[in-house]
Structure 1
Amino acid sequence: MKFNGFTEEDFNVFSIDGLDARMEAIVERVRPKLDLLGQHFAPSLAVMTGDEFHYHVAKHARRSVNPPNDTWVAFASDKRGYKKHPHFQIGLWGTHLFIWFAMIYEAPGKAAFGRKIEQHIDEIPEMIPEGFVWSGDHMKPGATPYGSMSKDDLLTLAKRVQTVKKAELLCGLHLDRDTVTKMSGEELMDRITDAFETLLPLYKMS
């Protein structure tokens, strides 16, 4: 099976009411595409980083009432899970596709990563383009474009991840749904590859 990109129907699954109906659409429409991206990018990331990578497609297994508002495939060096590790993600909200490098709240190394960001704060603009975005919470769809952030804004995120248990630090790229649905599968995979290559210095820092 070939990855042919994402369609309007894929993004529309998040407007389906009810847990069962929405999960059925995610499993039928979106999950096979995330699996294809997982199969493609786990070996690609291994080549880029020199570390072994495994992919984990979101199962949303703990949900019993509220349907998921986003879904994703995550990549980490541990085949049992990704949440405790520095990891990459590709996923969808109803409004956009996201490509992240992430240190989320379960990761024991997140405070050390925050300190590294602080230490290298003057080098970050050379690594990360202004069109990329930063976030302190993977549960929220919004993120702040780096071009609109001051050095102090990024330092605040870096300090917070060191001291607040639930704080997180994510950097990546958001592509709005109109852009994504006009791209071929190949174009989108090239864009994701470019984003992962841009985010590599952060992974190495972690």
Structure 2
Amino acid sequence: MEFTGFTSNDFKIFTIDGLENRMEAIISDIRPKLEALGEHFSVSLSALTGEEMFPHVAKHARRSVNPPNDTWVAFANNKRGYKKHPHFQIGLWETHLFVWFAVIYEAPIKSEYGQELEKKEQEIRKIIPSSFVWSGDHTKPDAKAFSSMSDEEFHSLVKRLQSVKKAEILCGIHLDQDEVVNMSGSELIQKIESTFKTLLPLYKLS
């Protein structure tokens, strides 16, 4: 399937009540688009990282009551799963699209990765644009722009990764729903492509 972009109806899916109804809409409307992005970016990320990258589209299989508030496709150098590995993600909340590099709480390298980030804090300030956002929790929609983060705040995010079991670190971009629905599929692919290129040094550090 050719990726044609996201519509306002795709974002409205996250307002549908009930697990079954929302999942039905995610599967029929959003999942084919995530699969198309998965196909495209597994090839380009493999070329970018020099490792074979595999797409993993969220299945939300463990849910029995609460409908998902977001959905995504993740990319990791492991065929079986992505959660234990540094990975890239593209996904939607009701309000925005996110493009991330992520190390989440299941990753065994978390503490060592936090130490690497700590050594390179000043360098990261130079290579990651101030418009990019950071988050310490992939289950929440909010994130903080690098431009509004003090050195102390960034340092504490990095330190937390080293010592707190549930700590995570994610860096990337948020694109508002209005912006996304006005972009063609190819414009969005270009935007994601350039974001992944910018995030590559964070992946290489891992």
Is TM > 0.5 for Structure 1 vs Structure 2? yes
Question: What is the CA deviation profile of residues 150-174 of structure 1, one whole-angstrom value per residue up to 9, with x for unaligned ones?
Answer: 1111110000011110010110100
In structure 2, what is the Cα distance between the partners aligned to 1:105 and 1:38?
Answer: 23
In structure 1, what is the Cα distance between the partners aligned to 2:113 and 2:98?
Answer: 21
- The equivalent of 1:99 in structure 2 is 99
User: Secondary structure of the residue that 1:102 maps to in structure 2?
Assistant: strand
User: Secondary structure of the residue that 2:142 maps to in structure 1?
Assistant: coil
User: Secondary structure of the residue that 1:4 maps to in structure 2?
Assistant: coil
For structure 2, the 5+ residue unaligned runs are none
Return the offset for 1:186. 0.2
Alignment: residue pair count: 206
Give the counterpart letter for 2:100 in structure 1: W
TM-score (norm 1): 0.99
- The equivalent of 1:65 in structure 2 is 65
Identity percentage of aligned residues: 63
User: Secondary structure of the residue that 2:122 maps to in structure 1?
Assistant: coil
TM-score (norm 2): 0.99
- The equivalent of 1:131 in structure 2 is 131
User: Secondary structure of the residue that 1:175 maps to in structure 2?
Assistant: strand
Return the offset for 1:178. 0.3
In structure 1, what is the Cα distance between the partners aligned to 2:177 and 2:84?
Answer: 29
Give the counterpart letter for 2:2 in structure 1: K
CA RMSD of aligned residues (A): 0.5
- The equivalent of 1:8 in structure 2 is 8
User: Secondary structure of the residue that 2:78 maps to in structure 1?
Assistant: coil
In structure 2, what is the Cα distance between the partners aligned to 1:107 and 1:90?
Answer: 19
User: Would you say 1:159 and 2:172 are equivalent positions?
Assistant: no
- The equivalent of 1:75 in structure 2 is 75
User: Would you say 1:202 and 2:188 are equivalent positions?
Assistant: no
Return the offset for 1:110. 1.0
User: Secondary structure of the residue that 1:97 maps to in structure 2?
Assistant: strand
- The equivalent of 1:188 in structure 2 is 188
Give the counterpart letter for 1:53 in structure 2: M
User: Secondary structure of the residue that 1:101 maps to in structure 2?
Assistant: strand
For structure 1, the 5+ residue unaligned runs are none
Give the counterpart letter for 1:193 in structure 2: E
Which aligned segments of 4 or more residues in structure 1 are displaced greater than 4 angstroms? none
Return the offset for 1:59. 0.2
Give the counterpart letter for 2:125 in structure 1: P
Question: What is the CA deviation profile of residues 171-194 of structure 1, one whole-angstrom value per residue up to 9, with x for unaligned ones?
Answer: 010000000000000000000000
- The equivalent of 2:27 in structure 1 is 27
User: Would you say 1:51 and 2:36 are equivalent positions?
Assistant: no
Give the counterpart letter for 1:70 in structure 2: D
- The equivalent of 1:89 in structure 2 is 89
User: Secondary structure of the residue that 1:122 maps to in structure 2?
Assistant: helix
